[in-house]
């Protein structure tokens, strides 16, 4: 039974009825969770959450994540009622084409939505990244006499979130880091789509999270006094907090509350009528909002304005007392790069022996991190292998949140979601690294980043059969195709050290979505740029590395990464045989596809049909560039455990193979 003053109960029931009406109007959705968590959400949003509905982006706001994204009508109801630019018309158009109230919350579409959620567990991990960012910014800028950064990250998480594997990775990491400004409200309703959670989920969540180092409380999620006291206590702990809120899914529905029937489908007209009668609500007016409830919740507008004005005054005072830090803070928040920052990125001398692009990346990182002070990143326990440590930048830890080297442990999925949270929070340019073969463990978070236009940077090394003896378990084949198939992901596979420099430059400058750097373990020759095309061509995605001797090619060879060396050698042999051969390096398909038609035609003239691509990966996708009359050389099987030169030979990725095919195309 809800225990709350009459006005509070009126507000809570407004949230419930708006949610059930919107789901009913859409004829799809999840009414049960919003109805069950309305009490908890109301107390949080009206008594604790520091936010400004008229400026959802002000920096020192609290962050709220609805990790249980299927309950999106809970969030949309709160946003509308507290005064965000989410109209009642948008509530009525829930889940409809062109509305800003999609089935699951989407960042960038709806004012007040802090992150895209829906795939369970993603919000849980993203919230951890936000809390990490808050601690970094606070440690970097707060002074003993001036606390500029001071906000919480709250999330509503579900039984389903806690079942997902990412919740283990992220909760373990948050506990290890003692992220005390992180408070998760767990909707413990014991119902999933299939029925009672007893079917599949009987964990002792309290013991589990205490083992991670979290403070855990268990409360009645319909008792406002208990909710309020629990949040107050959580705000004072020195660890992350989980508040397990025992709730009834579909609260108020006479026949469906506490059952799976209220989880993922409309209640139905008859049940809505019965529910509204039980709640003392008019049935004949869908989307009814009492004036008293609206006025109560719209107090958030004045409160938010006051909070923001107080913080702006604090910021102005801070800038006067600490002018250098004040300037730096604003640069961090606006992602304003230092002047001429790109000029510090190293240029590499021509070298036939060269170096692995992962090693080139390390040199680039060290140079950039000396000038970009909010470049923060690390790896999933592969720092030495991925070469992603930044010299003399400290380790981010519970003892020092200002460290810029992050150690995620063997938690690839948790790392990827945290990257998104770090980026979404603002003030930080984050990157995270692992082997390319383990990008599958990152993929759900990469997809969220792409959908949400989050500028997370993923560094994947050991990019092919070129890692050799570790064998097929660690040799990626299908991974490049999967990453490239994901909309709005910029995938860079540089062919040498200088392309690596420009790939990093492009990744830093890409603020519209995630960037992926795919790097080698084995050495690659550093191309002589006095003889071959300039590495700056990387910024166009593809460029002419070597022109045909006649100026007009009979054949075009194209590749990315380590296979560019192969086509350079093949071109030399083909030229000796009288075949005028152009060599095209294609480090980033996505950037090339964005170029104008004139540039595309300059690189790939329509009348040159003889084209060959080669890549130590799945051949999928290359036909777009070779055309139907061209030849695609790739790998359509798993690799072998052997020295990498032997594996290349065994799988037919050689200059000789390219020459053979080139001659057949130009007879």
CATH of the domain at 234: 3.40.50.970
Q: How many domains does the chain have?
A: 3
Residue that terminates a domain, selected from 525, 556, 589: 525
Rounded distance, CA 340 to CA 323, Å?
Answer: 22
In this prediction, residue 396 carries a pLDDT of 99
Indicate whether 511 and 548 sit together in one domain: no
Given the structure tokens 């006095």, which residue do they identify?
Answer: 530
Indicate whether 550 and 509 sit together in one domain: no
Indicate whether 167 and 235 sit together in one domain: yes
**What average pLDDT score do residues 541-570 get?**
98
Residue 311 placed within a domain: no
pLDDT tens for each residue of 611-664? 999 999 999 999 999 999 999 999 999 999 999 999 999 999 999 999 999 999
Residue 336 placed within a domain: no
Question: Cβ neighbours of residue 70 under 8 Å, at least 6 residues apart?
Answer: 30, 33, 104, 118, 264
547-582: string of b/e by CB count within 10 Å (b at 16+)?
A: bbeeeebbbbbbbbbbbbbbbbbbbebbbeeebbbb
Question: Cβ neighbours of residue 596 under 8 Å, at least 6 residues apart?
Answer: none
- Which range marks the domain in which residue 492 is found? 341-525
pLDDT tens for each residue of 102-131? 999 999 999 999 999 999 999 999 999 999
Average pLDDT over all residues of the chain: 98
Lowest mean pLDDT among 1-15, 238-252, 524-538: 1-15
Is residue 168 within 8 A of residue 79, CB to CB? The reply is: no
Residue 559 placed within a domain: yes
**What average pLDDT score do residues 541-560 get?**
97
Does 79 score more than 90 pLDDT? yes
User: If you write DSSP's letter for every residue of 409-433 in order, what string do you get?
Assistant: -S-HHHHHHHHHHHHHHSS-EEEEE
Indicate whether 544 and 521 sit together in one domain: no
Burial class (CB in 10 A: 0-12, 13-18, 19+), 144: exposed
Per-residue pLDDT band at 530 (split at 50, 70, 90): very high
pLDDT tens for each residue of 273-320? 999 999 999 999 999 999 999 999 999 999 999 999 999 999 999 999
pTM: 0.98
In this prediction, residue 85 carries a pLDDT of 99
In this prediction, residue 53 carries a pLDDT of 99
In this prediction, residue 340 carries a pLDDT of 84
631 backbone dihedrals φ, ψ, rounded to 5°: -125, 135
Given the structure tokens 């909710």, which residue do they identify?
Answer: 227
Indicate whether 378 and 277 sit together in one domain: no
Residue that terminates a domain, selected from 304, 321, 351: 304
Per-residue pLDDT band at 44 (split at 50, 70, 90): very high
Phi-psi region at 190: left, alpha or beta (left = phi > 0; alpha = psi -120 to 50): left
Residue 333 placed within a domain: no
**What average pLDDT score do residues 207-222 get?**
99
Does 331 score more than 70 pLDDT? yes
Indicate whether 78 and 121 sit together in one domain: yes
Q: What percent of the chain has pLDDT over 90?
A: 98
In this prediction, residue 3 carries a pLDDT of 63
Q: What percent of the chain has pLDDT over 70?
A: 100
Indicate whether 276 and 238 sit together in one domain: yes
Per-residue pLDDT band at 2 (split at 50, 70, 90): low
Rounded distance, CA 60 to CA 559, Å?
Answer: 46
Does 408 score more than 90 pLDDT? yes
Per-residue pLDDT band at 360 (split at 50, 70, 90): very high
Higher pLDDT, 457 or 343: 457
Catalytic residues: 412
């Amino acid at each position: 039974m809800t225990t709350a003053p009459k006005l509070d109960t009126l507000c809570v029931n407004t949230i419930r009825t708006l949610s059930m009406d919107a789901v009913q109007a859409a004829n799809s959705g999840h009414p049960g969770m919003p109805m069950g968590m309305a009490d908890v959400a109301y107390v949080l949003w009206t008594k604790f959450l520091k936010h400004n509905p008229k400026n959802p982006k002000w920096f020192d706001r609290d962050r709220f994540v609805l990790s249980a994204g299927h309950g999106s009508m809970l969030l949309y109801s709160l946003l509308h009622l507290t005064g965000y630019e989410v109209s009642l018309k948008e509530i009525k158009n829930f889940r409809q084409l062109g509305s800003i109230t999609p089935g699951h919350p989407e960042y960038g579409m709806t004012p007040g939505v802090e992150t895209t959620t829906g795939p369970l567990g993603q919000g849980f991990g993203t919230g951890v990244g936000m809390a990490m960012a808050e601690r970094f910014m606070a440690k970097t800028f707060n002074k003993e006499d001036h606390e500029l950064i001071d906000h919480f990250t709250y999330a509503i998480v579900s039984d389903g979130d806690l079942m997902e594997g990412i919740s283990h990775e992220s909760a373990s990491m948050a506990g290890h880091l003692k992220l005390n400004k992180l408070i998760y409200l767990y909707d413990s309703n014991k119902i999933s789509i299939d029925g009672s959670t007893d079917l599949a989920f009987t964990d002792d969540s309290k013991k589990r999270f205490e083992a991670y180092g979290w403070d855990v409380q268990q409360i009645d999620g319909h008792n406002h006094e208990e909710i309020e006291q629990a949040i107050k206590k959580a705000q004072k702990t020195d660890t992350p907090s989980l508040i397990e809120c025992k709730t009834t899914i579909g609260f108020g529905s006479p026949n469906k509350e506490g059952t799976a029937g209220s989880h993922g489908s409309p209640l139905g007209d008859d049940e809505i009528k019965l529910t509204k009668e039980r709640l003392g609500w008019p049935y004949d007016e869908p989307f009814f909002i009492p004036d008293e409830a609206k006025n109560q919740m719209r107090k958030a507008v004045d409160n938010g304005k006051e909070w923001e004005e107080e913080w702006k005054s604090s910021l102005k005072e801070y800038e006067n007392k600490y002018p250098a830090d004040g300037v730096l803070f604003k640069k961090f928040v606006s992602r304003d790069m230092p002047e001429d920052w790109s000029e510090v990125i190293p240029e590499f001398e021509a070298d036939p022996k060269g170096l692995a692009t992962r090693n080139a990346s390390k040199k680039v990182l060290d140079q950039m991190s000396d000038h970009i002070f909010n470049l923060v990143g690390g790896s999933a326990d592969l720092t030495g292998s991925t070469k992603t440590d930044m010299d003399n930048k400290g380790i981010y830890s519970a003892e020092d949140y200002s460290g810029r080297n992050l150690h995620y442990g063997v938690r690839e999925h948790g790392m990827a979601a945290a990257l998104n949270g770090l980026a979404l929070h603002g003030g930080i340019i984050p990157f995270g690294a692992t082997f390319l073969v383990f990008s599958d463990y990152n993929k759900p978070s990469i997809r969220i980043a792409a959908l949400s236009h989050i500028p997370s940077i993923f560094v994947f090394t050991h990019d092919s059969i070129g890692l050799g003896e570790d064998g097929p378990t660690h040799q990626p084949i299908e991974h490049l195709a999967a990453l490239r198939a994901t909309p709005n992901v910029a995938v860079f596979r540089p062919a040498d050290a200088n392309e690596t420099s420009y790939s990093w430059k492009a990744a830093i400058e890409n603020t519209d979505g995630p960037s992926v750097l795919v790097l080698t373990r084995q050495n690659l020759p550093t191309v002589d740029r006095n003889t071959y095309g300039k590495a700056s061509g990387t910024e166009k995605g593809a460029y002419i590395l070597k022109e045909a001797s006649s100026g007009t090619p009979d054949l075009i060879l194209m590749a990315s990464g380590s296979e560019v060396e192969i086509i350079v050698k093949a071109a030399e042999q083909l030229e000796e045989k009288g075949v005028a051969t152009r060599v095209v390096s294609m480090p980033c398909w996505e950037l090339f596809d964005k170029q104008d038609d004139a540039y595309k035609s300059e690189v790939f003239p329509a009348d040159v049909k003889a084209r060959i691509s080669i890549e130590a990966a799945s051949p999928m996708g290359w036909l777009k560039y070779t055309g139907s009359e061209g030849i695609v050389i790739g790998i359509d099987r798993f690799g072998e455990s052997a020295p990498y030169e032997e594996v290349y030979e065994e799988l037919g990725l050689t200059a000789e193979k390219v020459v053979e095919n080139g001659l057949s195309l130009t007879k």
